[in-house]
Amino acid sequence: MTFIPKPKLHHPDLQKNALGLTRRDYEGPVSTLCAGCGHDSISAAIVKACFELDIEPHRVAKMSGIGCSSKTPTYFLGASHGFNSVHGRMPSVATGANLANKDLIYLGVSGDGDSASIGIGQFAHAMRRGVNMVYIVENNGVYGLTKGQFSATSDKGAKSKRGVVNSDEAIDLVGMALQLGATFVARSFSGDKGQLVPLIEAALQHKGIAFIDCLSPCVAFNNHEGSTKSFDYVREHNEALNALDVITGRPEITVDYAPGTLEMVMQHDGSVLQLRKLHQSYDVHDRVAALTYMQERAAAGEIVTGLLYVDPNPRDLHAHLKTVDKPLNALDEMALVPGARALDRINAGLR
Amino acid sequence: MLQVVDRIEGLQRVNDFVVKFANVNGSGSASANALFAKAVLRMGIAATPRNIFPSNIQGLPTWYEVRISDAGYLGARGGGPDLMVAMNPQTWDQDVRGIEPGGYLFYDNTKPMPESKFRSDVVTIGVPLTRITNAAYSNPRQRQLFKNIVGLGALSALLDIDPTVIEQLFSEQFKGKDTLIQPNIKALHMGRDWAQANLQCPIGLTLRKSESVGDRIFIDGNAAAALGAVYGGATVCAWYPITPSSSLAEAFASYCARMRVDKATGKNNFAIVQAEDELASIGMVIGAAWNGARAFTATSGPGISLMQEFIGLAYFAEIPAVIMDVQRSGPSTGMPTRTQQTDLTICAYASHGDTKHVLLIPEDPYECFEFSALSFDLADRLQTPIFVMLDLEIGMNERLTKPFVWDDSRKMDRGKVMTTEELEAGAKFGRYLDVDDDGIAYRTYPGTHPTKGAFFTRGTSKDRMARYSEEGADYQENMERLLKKHRTAATLVPAAIETKAARPTKFGAIYFGSTSPAMSEADEQLTAEGVSLDLLRLRAFPFGPEVEAFIEAHDTVFVVEQNRDGQMRSMLINELEINPKKLAKIVHYDGTPITARFIAGAIGQYVNIDKVVS
C-alpha cells in the first residue's frame, strides 16, 4: 500500500481560521518522503500559509511535474484538485489550467531537476508570460528519486555522496526569473519557517508569476560534508535580506524577527507586505539592483534569501490576452457559438 | 520580333483541362493566379487549384496548378498540364518538357529565345508582357505587379473568360481601397486587347459558363477546421508554428477576432498562446481541458512526435484534448511542404505503453469543419485525446466544398461532469468508477465543491478512487476499462460510408481523407473499363462493425493510402484480425497528391494479373 491516509481525529482545541477550518483541514495524507526531508517542511509551510490566509482549499489547484518535490502536493491540501503531470512540464499544464479558469489559485511545486534541467524551457516561458501562479522550486541540488545524481543547480565543486565532484556551472533560477520578467522573486530555505511562510503568503496574493526558489536539503543524498545544499551549509551561508509580514486585514501574524526598518508594499489585491529590512540599502522594486546584489553576494560565498523583487502592479497572461472576466471554462453556447446566421454569412463570403 | 502562334493542331477542350503557372517568387503572381481560379469558379465551372511549393521563402521555384473539370473531379488529374504559363526562366526546361502533347505554352516573348527551347508538338503562345508593361508604367513595382494582370488579361482572351467576371473580382478584392480597381481593370484590358489584336483567340482550350459549381463554397481545410473549432466551443488554443498546420491556428485567431469578442466589454472569449514548442502546446491544452475548457492544438508529424509523452498522460489520466494534425511527408523533416497520410499509426497508438486513440479523418473542407466541431464533443464525452487527421492537400489548398451548416439548437456535449449540486446531494463520486458500464467515469472540475469531488490527477497508476496504487489488479482493471472506453468510442465516431457498384463484385476498395476525389474518379474510370468496385470510405478510428462486414463481403479489398507502408492496412489487420493476403496495398507516397490515374492504373493492373492467374 503506497497511499497512507491520516486518521481524521481532530483535537477539539485546534485553532480555527475565519472559515472555521483548522490546520488539519489543509493537510493531506501522510508523506512518503524520507524522514527529515526539507520538502516536508515546505509542505507544512504551504499548509500554514493557506490556513492563515483563510484560503478555501478547494479553490487551489496544485500543479507539479515529476520527482520528489512533485510528489509533495499529495501531502497537503487534500481537498484540492491536484495534477502530477510529466517531468519538467508543470509550467505548461499550469498555464493551460490558468487560462481555463482565472478564478482559482495555482500553486506549482517543482524541483531543481524538474525545473532547471528537463524543464528549464517551460520554466523560462512561464516566467516571461507572467502566468498568475505561485511557482515553488524545492531545490536540493540533487536527483533524489533516482538516488543521488547531480542536478543543474548543484554548485560547481560540490561533492556528491559518492564523492564525485561536480564540474558544471550551477544554474541560478532566481537570476533567470529576474531576467525573464517575473514579477515576484524570492529565495528561502526550508529550515527557516519564519521567513518561508510569509513569503508563500505574499506569493499567494501576488496577481502574477510569483517564484520562490526554496533551498531544501536532501537528507538521503545531499546533506553530507562537501555538499553546498546541506542544512549546515545553508544555515552558515544564509544572507537574509529582509523579513516579511503579510497583512490582510486580520490579526497580525507574529514573526520571530526583531523589527528593523519597515517598508510597506501594497499589493494589487489590497494586501500589504510589510518588509522588515535587514539590509538598509536594499530596494525590493529594483530588478537590476537585485541581480547585481545577488551576484555580488554569491561571489562572496553567500546565499541571499528573502523577497528579492516584487512588482506591486503586475500584469498577468490574462491581462495580456485580454480575456473576459468570466472564466473561459464557464462560457456557454451563447458566448462561444456564433450560430447559423453567422455561418450563412461566412458561406456567402466564400463563393 | 514577335513570335507567332505555331499553327500545329492544339488540344480542343471545353471546361476540362489543366493550367499550370510557373511562378517567379516575390513577383506578386500568387494573387493573379488566385484570381484566375476564382474567375473560372465564378463562371460556374468546377476548378481545383493546388499550390506546389518547396520548403523555402524566396528564391526557389513554386507552381500553381488549376484543374478545371466541369464534370466535377476535384482530385489532382495527374500527367502534365494542357496549358503551361511559363513565367519562371529557372524552371523553363522542366516546365516545357512537362506539357501534354498538343498542349499550349504561354510565355513572355519580350526577349527572343532560341528555337531549341521549344517543342514542336506544343502550341507556342508568346506575349511580350514585359514590353507592354514597361511601356505603360515607369514605377518598377507597378511594372512587376501589373505584368501579372496583363498576363491574366491575355489569358482571358485566349481561353474566352468573361472579363466582367474578373472586373467584379477586382472590385471585391480592393473594396475599401477603391483607387486600385481602375488601374487593375486597365491592365487587364491591356493584355486582353493585345492578345485579341495579335493572336488567334480563343485557342483550343476554352471556358464556357456552366452550373457545376452550384452553391458550393471555396475554402481551404485548415480554415474550415479553425471555423469548426470556433463553432465547437474551443476557448483555448496553444500551438507552435509548423508547416502545413500554422494557417489553422492563424485562421482560428482571425475567426475569433471576428466572432468571439464580447461586444459589451471588448474582451476576448478565447485565449490563444503561441507556445515555446509542441510539448508546451499540448501541455497547455491538457491543463486547460483538465480544468474544463475546450482546448486544442494544431501541428504536424514532427509535433506529434514531440507530444508523445503528454498524449500518453492524457490517455491514462483521461483528459480531453483535441489535436489537429495536418500531415506532411516524414520521417524527420522529410518533405515539409509535400502531402502524405503518414501519421496514422503514430497517432492511433501514440505514446509508450498500451494505448489506442480516436482519429477523425475528414475528406474535404466540409468535413474538416464538421469533424473539428465534433471533436470537442467527443473529447469531452470520451475524456481522451481526439486527433483530427488533415493533410497538406486538404489543409493548405482551397477546395470547392458543400456550404457549412449549423443547427442552432445544438448544445455542447460536455460529457460526464459531476456538478456542485450533484455532489451536494450526495452523489457517489469516484474518478475512475465505471458507473455506466461504458468505460467512461465521471470527472469533476477543480474548484467545484469545498469538501467533495476533489481528486489527484496523475500519470502513475491508481485505483478507482484515484488513489495512487501499484497493485497489479488495480492497474489491470484500469487498462481494461480504457479498452472498453475505446470500444464505446467506436459507436460514437462517424461511421464509414459505403458506395456500392452497380453490379455485384468481389472487389472492394477502402480509402480515406484526401484520397476521396481521386478514388471516386478512378472508380468511374475502372467501371468504364469493366472493373467493378465497392467502395468504403473510412472516416474514423476505431473502426465500426461496418468495416469488418465490408472486408468480410469481398474477396480482395484494395486499401488505398498515401504513405509507404500501408499504415491503415496494418491497422485494419491489427485491429480486425484480417488475413493480410486479403488486403491489397495501393500506396502513393511521392509527396504529390494521389491521382485517379494512379489508382485506376494500380488497381487495373492488379485485377488483370488476378484474371490471368485465376
What values do phi and psi take at A282, rounded to 5? -75, 125
Do B276 and A121 make contact, defined as CB atoms within 8 angstroms? yes
Cα gap B197→B194, rounded to integer Å? 5
Contacts of B411 in chain A (CB under 8 A): 333
Chain A stretch 152-181, residues whose beta carbon is closer than 8 A to a beta carbon of chain B: none
Which chain A residue is nearest to residue B461, measuring alpha carbons?
A2
Q: Taking residues A240-255, what's their average pLDDT?
A: 63
Q: Chain A residues with CB inside 8 Å of B293's CB?
A: 96, 99-101, 328-329
B280 and A121 in contact by Cβ < 8 A? yes
Residue-wise pLDDT tens digits, B297-315: 999 999 999 999 999 999 9
Query: pLDDT band for position A265 (50/70/90)?
Result: confident
Q: What is the DSSP letter of B558?
A: E
Q: Could you read off the pLDDT of A58-75 as tens digits, one per residue?
A: 999 999 999 999 999 999
Share of chain B above pLDDT 90, in %: 94
**Residue that is written with C-alpha cell 462486414 in the block:** B549
Q: Would the pTM count as exceeding 0.80?
A: yes
Of B268, B289, B291, the CB nearest to A323: B268
Please judge whether B269 and A322 are an interchain contact, meaning their C-beta atoms are less than 8 angstroms apart: no
Summarize pLDDT for A123-149 with one digit per residue, the tens. 999 999 999 999 999 999 888 888 889
Question: Mean pLDDT throughout B140-168?
Answer: 95
CB contact under 8 A, A92 and B404: no
C-alpha cell at B262: 464580447
pLDDT of residue A261: 60
Q: Please identify which residue in the block is written with the cell numbers 518535490.
A: A69
B238 contacts B295 by C-beta, under 8 angstroms: yes
Which of A336, A341, A344 is the best mutation test for B, with the most CBs of B within 10 A? A336
Which pairs with CB-CB distance under 8 Å and at least 24 residues apart come from B372-375?
Answer: B372/B224, B372/B225, B372/B226, B372/B227, B372/B228, B372/B229, B372/B232, B372/B322, B372/B324, B373/B228, B373/B229, B373/B231, B373/B232, B374/B228, B374/B232, B374/B494, B375/B228, B375/B232, B375/B296, B375/B322
Given an 8 Å threshold on Cβ–Cβ distance, is A100 in contact with B292? yes
Facing B447 at nearest CB: one of A59, A339, A342: A59
The Cα of A295 is separated from the nearest Cα of chain B by a number of Å equal to 28
Q: Which residues from chain A sit within 8 angstroms of residue B217, using beta carbons?
A: 347, 350-351
| A310 occurs within a structural domain | yes
Residue A8 is assigned to a structural domain of this protein: no
Residue A1 located in a structural domain: no
**Touching check for A67 and chain B: CB below 8 Å?**
no
Which residues on A lie below 8 Å from B238 (Cβ)? 92, 95-96
Residues 13 through 42 of chain A touching chain B, CB cutoff 8 Å: none
Cis peptide before B331 (omega within 30 of 0): yes
Determine the pLDDT at residue A8: 65
How many domains are contained in chain A? 1
pLDDT band, very low/low/confident/very high, at A259 (cuts 50, 70, 90):
very low
**Cβ atoms of B38 and B218 closer than 8 Å:** yes
Domain that holds residue A319: 23-348
* Res B83 pLDDT > 70: yes
Q: Which three cell numbers stand for residue A311?
A: 512588482
B265, B269, B470 ranked by CB distance to A336: nearest: B269
Which string of b and e fits B323-352 if b means at least 16 CB within 10 Å? bbbbbbbbeeebbbbbbbbbbbebbbebbe
Q: What's the mean pLDDT when you consider all of chain B? A: 95
Domains of chain B: 13-206 (3.40.920.10), 219-401 (3.40.50.970), 420-492 (no CATH), 497-613 (3.40.50.920)
The pLDDT > 90 percentage for chain A reads 65
CB-count exposure of residue B116 (10 Å: 0-12, 13-18, 19+): exposed
What confidence category does residue A7 fall into, taking pLDDT thresholds of 50, 70 and 90?
low
- CA distances to B81, B131, B189, B385 from B152, rounded to whole Å, are 17, 15, 9, 47
Using alpha carbons, select from A89, A64, A86, A85 the residue that is nearest to residue A75. A64
Mean pLDDT, residues B160-187: 95
Q: Do A125 and B280 touch (CB under 8 A)?
A: yes
Gap from B409 CA to chain A (nearest CA, Å): 9
pLDDT higher at A241 or A313: A313
CATH number of A70's domain: 3.40.50.970
Three-class SS string for chain A?
CCCCCCCCCCCCCCCECCCCCEHHHHECCCCCCCCCCHHHHHHHHHHHHHHHCCCCHHHEEEEECCCHHHHHHHHECCCCEEEECCCCCHHHHHHHHHHHCCCCEEEEEEEHHHHHHCCHHHHHHHHHHCCCEEEEEEECCEECCCCCEECCCCCCCCECCCCCECCCCCCCHHHHHHHCCCCEEEEEECCCHHHHHHHHHHHHHCCCEEEEEEECCECCCECCCCCCCCHHHHHHHEEECEEEEEECCCCCCCCCCCCCEEEEEECCCCCEEEEEECCCCCCCCCHHHHHHHHHHHHHCCCEEEEEEEECCCCCCHHHHHCECCCCHHHCCHHHHCCCHHHHHHHHHCCC
Whether A281 is covered by a domain: the verdict is yes
Nearest CA in chain B to A1: B469
Query: Which residues, at least 6 apart from B434, have a Cβ–Cβ distance to it below 8 Å?
Result: B440, B441, B464, B481, B484
B454 with A78: Cβ contact below 8 A:
yes
B449: chain A residues, CB-CB within 8 Å: 58
Classify residue A14: in a domain, yes or no: no
Distance CA B604, CA B507 (A): 11
On whether residue A81 sits in a domain, the answer given is yes
Which of B216, B287, B448 is opposite residue A97, by nearest beta carbon? B287
Q: d(Cα B121, Cα B68) in Å, to the nearest integer?
A: 22
Q: What angle do CA B372, B377, B378 make, to 5 degrees?
A: 90
Position A157 in a domain: yes
Q: Which of A73, A329, A338 sits opposite B292 (nearest CB)?
A: A329
Residue A13 lies in a domain: no
